[in-house]
Structure 1
Amino acid sequence: MGDRIPHPEVDVPRQRRAGGVERPSLRGVAAAVTSLLALAATSLVTGPAAALTSEAGPCALPRTEVHHSLGLEDWNDAYLRPDHSLDAIMVFVSFPDHRPTATPGELVADYFPATTQFFQRASYGKFTLRPHPLQQWIQMPKASTWYGIQRDWNNERRSAYLRDAIAVADPEVDFSRFDIVYLVADPDAPGVDADATKVVNFDRPLHADGTDIRRIVTVFEQHPPDHNVLAHETGHVFDLPDLYHRPSDGKGDWDTHVGDWDVMGSQFGLAPDFFGWHKWKVGWLDQRQVVCVQRSRDITLEPISAVPVPGASLGTRLAVIRTGEGSAVAIEARSATGNDRTTCAEGILLYRVRNGTPSGGGPIEVIDTHPHSDACWERSVYPPLADAPLRVGETYTIPGAHARVEVADQKPSGAWTVRIVTGV
């Protein structure tokens, strides 16, 4: 096996609350993972492009080489695409310096069926995440404090953690049966830092049981965990970027880019359903539900989080104005339904998308159509953007887009009528 370079996701914005089958030896895997020790964790995971199954249209931005690019003219085959059911193994690791006080079953209940239900709603029933948890703890060879677990993790210790975890789990797990690996640590062990939860990618995959392991979701959450945290992490497995802003000193506000909107910004958000652009990228929306606005027109937008009854049409969910070679403005309706049922405000949400901005750099920025007000101080992760959507009767001219958005009405069905005027 060749060298593998990990690319860690910078996840979890902040912690706000306290079988008889003979398999190949892991000796080669362990030796190869050891080679991570001298390598920097800053590489980009790339892969062959796969054409999308339907015409993306003139408003679809091309994918670039930045990490988790939001271009969507083709799909990066280095990542799973959640357009079918996927199976996930949950491995629970303990440490010799602490006896777990929670059972694996209790930790499973922290995440499932809630995470599966979140994705079923978000995908309009097109994707099912099927968990397969081990029923026992698997003990690591070293104390939890030895691994130095933390957000900005030392490469050598993180590599040792991954190497040891795969080695101790291999006798109990046939990795060839699973699409996703969740590695869940004893949440009460003294060396476990909940802020270290993240996805680790590999330029060149690990090999075990005759299969490639391209990435591992390492979970260090407290019990009970942060709300929707596993949905956030799993989004990275599907090539979705971090949407929050990480302050250089770690002391500023993390939620200035998108606020409560989209779980990839904050797992605590009041309206955590995925942006329509994300749903378009992963295949839950296609060109039949997306309007590319090239002239003035009226559009009826169904709320992005509304799950239709079986057999019913999704309707139009997203309108897009192309503003440049690598940029666009997306327009969608957000209502208190589905994954957005706790939203602070309903209306028409506008946001900018840039395909050349990497994960964590602000590839999506919500446009605040009410810049002089805020809302839901007691609940919102970022009140200045909590009231960002336009309401019925309001109009907003989008800077740099030569377009004006007018919200005409909301129908009894919940759909919104929007007039988009171009050339202004």
Structure 2
Amino acid sequence: MQRLQTPGGVDRQRLRRVAAVLTSFTALAATSLVAGPAVAAEGAAGPCALPRTDVHHSLGLDTWDTAYPRPVGTLNAVMIFLSFPGTTPRTTPKELAADYFPATTDFYRRASYGKFTLHPHPLTTWTEMPRPATAYAVQRDWNAGRRSAYLHDALAAADPVVDFSKYDIVYLMADPDAPGVNSDATKVVNLDAPLHADGTDIRRVVTGFERHPPDRNVLAHETGHIFDMPDLYHRPTDGKGDWDTYVGDWDVMGSQFGLASDFFGWLKWKLGWLDRRQIACVQGTAPRMYTLEPLEEMPAGGTEVAGTRMIVVRTGLDSVLAIEARTATGDDRATCTEGVLIYRIQGGTASGDGPVQVIDAHPHSAACLGQSVYPELANAPLQVGETFTVPDGDTRVQVTDRTPSGAWTVQVTPVV
């Protein structure tokens, strides 16, 4: 529930408990499990950086799992278009490539502040599979044996014309009109035992089965998994119900249809697009004032990212609150609301289980009906003049002003 800012004393016993928890954090970080080889994440160390754990797509960011390519600089992606015997495609590889590029490259250029270029290399002809699509029983929760057969057949069919050693990312795009093709099977396949082609280990592949034209931002979402990003949606156990209760519109890893589809600042920090210079780590319990630059704002003239883009409050061994300003610019240009967004990060929570949860500063209300994927969270951000006390932690966030340049003045009081 929402609680208005009120004067009062601080619970000293709770302060001592939290201090003890944070003191023990250093020992925990040294023994955290990791999913693969790791390297220190440049600029990520510090009291607000959660440790990476062994859960799938952990949002810990003190290290980077080198089994995944990191999206800094240029990565090359080959896009292979698969046809099936007995079916004549109604589209061309050129038309299908245009469904995804340059839009996906532009999405990542904006999200990364120009630090990452996704360079596509689409084939210009169809690559024919040895069997009809129906033979692979393509579906969302795919039989592992049928899926493995599909991947092996696709790589073998493409190998005579593709040098896989030249590429960091592999997209396998099926003829969308072939019988047996199921758009729900569009996903990243992570392989415990890598496939091999041209002396290269292929550990993960995007399998595309989208209609023409495809869902908006679908390839940006799937490509995010290639970079160790988690699913941020909530998948109902019975396949029914609302998928967008965790983060609503506020990140492409939550919904490819979201109005504010940029990555959360925490994910940008993990990916290497933000560093400690843009992160304000709140320590102590005294009120602190911050000037938050809009998360989406690109640096001018190719300069480095400037200003504070995210405020972080450590709340436990594997949890933080993150605070950022979201505006109708960049990849968020379609958003129907602007303001200061608050969300929780749980470093020990796996992909799909809610590692990020947006905190609704306006519960019992909704916005952007008919546009938002989850109107209950569409008006989650705070506006100028509003104060919100975060439940189950008592951190107070007050938005006091918006500067002429568009930055937001925010006071944070971690009363924990």
Q: Give the alignment's TM-score, normalised by structure 1.
A: 0.88
Residue in structure 1 matching 2:132, options 123, 143, 152 = 143
What's 1:235 paired with?
A: 224
Alignment of 1:54-65 (within 5 A): 54-65=43-54
What's 1:304 paired with?
A: 295
1:312 Cα deviation (Å)?
5.5
Residue in structure 1 matching 2:350, options 338, 352, 358 = 358
Q: Deviations over 1:137-171 (max 9, x none)?
A: 00001011111111011111111100100100000
Preserved CA contact (<8 Å) 1:405 1:421: yes
Gaps of 5+ in 2: 1-32
SS of 1:203's partner is strand
Distance, in Å, in 2 between the alignment partners of 1:419 and 1:168 is 59
What's 1:23 paired with?
A: none
SS of 2:266's partner is helix
Preserved CA contact (<8 Å) 1:301 1:415: yes
Change (3 A) 1:275 1:73: same
Residue in structure 2 matching 1:110, options 99, 110, 122 = 99
Distance, in Å, in 1 between the alignment partners of 2:185 and 2:306 is 38
What's 1:152 paired with?
A: 141
Q: How many residues align?
A: 381
SS of 1:379's partner is coil
Gaps of 5+ in 1: 1-43
Letter in 1 for 2:370: E
Matched, 1:280 2:272: no
Q: Give the alignment's TM-score, normalised by structure 2.
A: 0.90
Letter in 2 for 1:84: G
Distance, in Å, in 1 between the alignment partners of 2:291 and 2:86 is 59
What's 2:256 paired with?
A: 267
Letter in 2 for 1:134: L
Preserved CA contact (<8 Å) 1:321 1:401: no
Matched, 1:408 2:400: yes
Alignment of 1:301-340 (within 5 A): 301-310=292-301, 311=303, 313-340=305-332
1:55 Cα deviation (Å)?
4.5
Letter in 2 for 1:70: L
Preserved CA contact (<8 Å) 1:244 1:256: yes
Q: Deviations over 1:284-321 (max 9, x none)?
A: 00000001011421111111111121226421101000
Aligned-pair identity (%): 67
Matched, 1:185 2:177: no
Preserved CA contact (<8 Å) 2:44 2:269: no
SS of 2:116's partner is coil
Distance, in Å, in 2 between the alignment partners of 1:140 and 1:285 is 42
Distance, in Å, in 2 between the alignment partners of 1:46 and 1:90 is 28
Preserved CA contact (<8 Å) 2:80 2:171: yes
Residue in structure 2 matching 1:251, options 235, 240, 247 = 240
Distance, in Å, in 2 between the alignment partners of 1:305 and 1:69 is 23
1:211 Cα deviation (Å)?
1.1
Distance, in Å, in 2 between the alignment partners of 1:194 and 1:69 is 27
Q: Deviations over 1:12-38 (max 9, x none)?
A: xxxxxxxxxxxxxxxxxxxxxxxxxxx
Distance, in Å, in 2 between the alignment partners of 1:107 and 1:314 is 37
SS of 1:136's partner is coil
Task: Out of 160-169 and 306-315, give the one that drifted further.
Answer: 306-315
Preserved CA contact (<8 Å) 1:45 1:67: no
Q: Deviations over 1:308-339 (max 9, x none)?
A: 21226421101000000000010000000010
Distance, in Å, in 1 between the alignment partners of 2:332 and 2:195 is 37
Residue in structure 2 matching 1:347, options 321, 339, 346 = 339
Change (3 A) 1:46 1:313: closer
What's 1:384 paired with?
A: 376
Distance, in Å, in 1 between the alignment partners of 2:393 and 2:283 is 11
Distance, in Å, in 1 between the alignment partners of 2:150 and 2:34 is 21
Preserved CA contact (<8 Å) 2:35 2:53: no
1:45 Cα deviation (Å)?
9.5
Runs (4+) of structure 1 moved beyond 3 Å?
none
What's 1:82 paired with?
A: 71
Distance, in Å, in 1 between the alignment partners of 2:200 and 2:156 is 15
